[in-house]
Structure formats: structure tokens, C-alpha cells
Amino acid sequence: MESVETLAKKRLEPTWFEEIREKASQLIGKTPYPDFKKLKYKDWDLHLTGNFVSTETFTANANVAQAGENLAQINLPDEYRKKGVIVADFHEALQNYPKLVQKYFMTKGLKASDDEFLAEHVAYLQSGLFIYVPKDVQVEIPLTCEYLQKAALASEYVHHVLLIVDEGSSFSYIEKLTSQGNEKSKVNFVCEVIAKKNSHVHFTSIDNLAENVTSYLNRRGYLEKDAKVDWAMALMNDGRTLGDFNSDLVGDGSHAELKAVGISTNSQIQGINTRVTNYGNNTIGHILQHGVSLDKSTLIFNAVGHIMKGSKGSDAEQESRILMLSQGARGDANPILLIDDNDVMAGHAASIGRVNPEQLYYLMSRGLDKKMAERVVIRGFLSPVLEEIPTADLKQVFSDLIERKISEK
């Protein structure tokens, strides 16, 4: 086990970051737990202890490959260097870009005091990636990142991604989070996206953690005036998952589109909170969540749209739908709208049910057996997120994961 002080000294962190760790450690046990409707998770093995095991590096068909606490292996397109885009291992960024890290790390949408798992995250932070896109830069090639959690070593994995896209810039970020092995372990993974004025971020993630890995995943967007973030998130984990995905529409005219899909199998439990908070005027926040629950698993979608007082002309829309494909499966889709002002638009749709028998009948009448017909329906049901994935290779990865999950039925 490693103490907070040992972690800081081992990585030769600057004094100011040591102080951030220490303050976070003092919050542990004093901060609230995240509020997840219809989900009892406090007995899950999510709390961090500093149980880190050294791992070997790995190579991947990606711009960034990172395993455990190892420094990131980074191979960037020439376009990034020419345009001044910074992509650095988090601890190298503490040394080389301290002013930027200090300005943005856990100072906008996220704070260590927000909940117990964020306090533990900052105190025990193990590894991460820092990305900065300068002002008025249009990046054509997406940044692809693969993060590997060594479940085979039963090591905790505490990882932080800090992505800042400056004014007038556009950027696409793709991350794939996977496990190697299946020993009992835990993941605490946080990603901050800071979208400055008039910027555009396309964010894609595919999570594929093993059955005995319990995970806390937190992704947060902070959007300034006229900024837009398009989120496409696929939760293909096999273990217990607590997902907390939020966008704060702080600037007037900011816009977030959150699309998430999840598949739960066996006796797995996944709880997903997706929230958009409209602070600025004329802001738009849309949530689309589709999920499939099989076997004796549980899948819970909580969609929260909150229009704050003073957010005139804002729009909050949400849709959450779950298909249950066995008698023992459980699904909950909970729409929550909080409206604190007038002259706004808001709406929700939520449904839980079985595969449409008319769709199955039609497909089977065209020669498909029942199992294949169900797969076709499921693929169509999850297609809204599949369509948002920007590269053909990653679409195939997502497609293969869908096939693996539903073939377990």
C-alpha cells in the first residue's frame, strides 16, 4: 500500500500538487457519496487504498498507450506538432506545463469536495494524460488513446485525463479503456473536458472492463460561451459500474449532446447518471441513452436535465430506453427534469420493455432465426451511438463488443 505522501514523493511532484493531494486526503470520509437513484452501491468495493503494482508498458494501435502508473507512450501525427497541440503524460505535464495544469485541474466542473470517490481520486491519483489545444486551431486527425488496467495483478487503477480546447478550436478525442486479466480489482477513472468559447469537442469512449473489476467512471464537461461538446459513450464493461457523466453549460449559447449506450449481462449491475445543467442563456442540453439488459443483470439510467434560474431560452431534452431480453433482467429508466425558470423548452421520454414482437416477426419472416433477429434489433437499437464514432476501426471494435456481449445470452 502506498500513502498519499509516498505517491507525491515517488513522482517528484511540485509542492502545490502535493498540497492538493493532502487537502483531498483530508476530505476522505467527510464528503457525500454520489446520488444514484434506484441503486444501492455503498457496499461495493470502490474505496481506494493505494494498492498499486508496477506494470510493464504496452504498445497499441493508438496515438497514446498507457498501462497502470507507467508514463504514456505517445506517438503524435505531425499535424499536432505543427499546430502546437500538447499531449503529455500527466506527471510530465506537472513539470513542463505547471501553469496550465494548476489553472484547470479540478478547478472548473469538478472538485475533490464534490463526492467521496473524487476526494479519493485526487489523493491517490496514479496516472493520467494532459491535452491542450491552442486558440483557433482546427485539428483534423482524432487523438486515439488506449488505457490498460492490469486486472491480472489485482492493482488499483486511478487515472485522470485533463483536456482543454481553447477558444475557436475544434478537436476529436477517442479513448478505449480495457482490462487485462480478471482478478478482483477496482478502477477510479476521471476525465475533465474544458471547452472554451466557441470551441467544438467530439468525445468518444468505449469502456470494456473485466467481470471482477468494479469501476467508478466520471466524465465532466465545462462549456463556455457558444462551445459545443458531442459525447458518444459505450459502456461494455462486464463488472459493476458506477458511471457519472455531466455537462455544465456555463456560457450563453453552449450546447451538449450526450449519447450513451450500455449492455449488462450475467449478474452484473451498472448504474449510469447522465446530467446536463443549463446555467447560461439559450443553452441546449440533449441526453440520449439506450441500453440492453440480459440474464439476471441490472441496468439503471438516471437522466437529469436542470435548467437553472436565469437560463432564459434554454432547452433540456432527454430520452432513456432499455430493452430487457430475459425474465431475470432488470432495467430502470428514470427521467428527472428540474426547471427553475420560465421561457424554456424541456421534455423527456423513458421506456423499459421487451423486443418488439412485430419487429421480430418481420425479420423472421425474411429467413432469420429468433436469436439472429434479436441481434439485428439490438444493433439497430444501439445505432445512435455507433453512428457517432468517428473512425471505421473503432466502429468495428464497438460492433465486435456488442456481438460478444449479446452472444453471451
End-to-end CA distance of the chain: 39
What pLDDT does residue 395 have? 80
- Predicted confidence at residue 375, as pLDDT, reads 80
pLDDT at 3: 67
Whether the Cβ atoms of residue 226 and residue 256 lie closer than 8 Å to each other = no
pLDDT of residue 9: 66
Q: Are 28 and 86 in contact (CB under 8 A)?
A: no
Dihedral sign from CA coordinates of 126, 30, 98, 136 = positive
| Residue whose C-alpha is closest to residue 179's, from 263, 268, 67, 272 | 67
pLDDT given for residue 71 in this prediction: 80
Residues 6+ apart with CB under 8 A from 168: 135, 136, 197, 198, 199
pLDDT in tens, 29-84: 999 999 998 899 999 999 998 887 766 677 788 999 999 888 889 999 999 999 99
pLDDT per residue as tens, the chain (409 positions): 666 767 666 678 899 999 999 999 999 999 999 999 889 999 999 999 888 776 667 778 899 999 988 888 999 999 999 999 999 999 999 999 999 999 999 999 899 999 999 999 999 999 999 999 999 999 999 999 999 998 888 889 999 999 999 999 999 999 999 999 999 999 999 999 999 999 999 999 999 999 999 999 999 999 999 999 999 999 999 999 999 999 999 999 999 999 999 999 999 999 999 999 999 999 999 999 999 999 999 999 999 999 999 999 999 999 999 998 888 999 999 999 999 999 999 999 999 888 777 887 788 888 888 778 878 888 888 887 777 777 787 788 878 888 887 776 5
Cα–Cα distance, 170 to 128 (Å, whole number): 22
